[in-house]
Amino acid sequence: MNEILISALSTIITALLSVALAYLSAWLKAKYTSEQIAKGKEIASIAVQAVEKIAETTGWHGEQKYQEAVKYIAELTQKAGLKLSEEQVKALIESAVHQLDQAWEEL
């Protein structure tokens, strides 16, 4: 019974994240060039992976990891000349975390 519930919830969450990512992609494309979007996604991916790795030794969890990723992304996007809103940074982080989760599931 629990396995069925977990499986159903997993399917629902995956579907919701897919819809959210499609919305994010459309929203970003309307605002930025494909090169800027790719750079933002790359920066977010690097930041999330770095924070996850550092969190293994520091014991960071939840909000602390999020705040560290935001700081890292802000630093890298500034160097790259990208100006992102808080909502855009949050969306990029969520997208990077989702992609990282999917990569782990495939292993």
* Rounded Cα gap, residues 90 and 104, in angstroms: 21
pTM: 0.66
Tokens representing 46 are 């690097």
Q: Is it the case that residue 30 has pLDDT exceeding 70?
A: no
What tens digit of pLDDT does each residue of 44-62 get?
A: 999 999 999 999 999 999 8
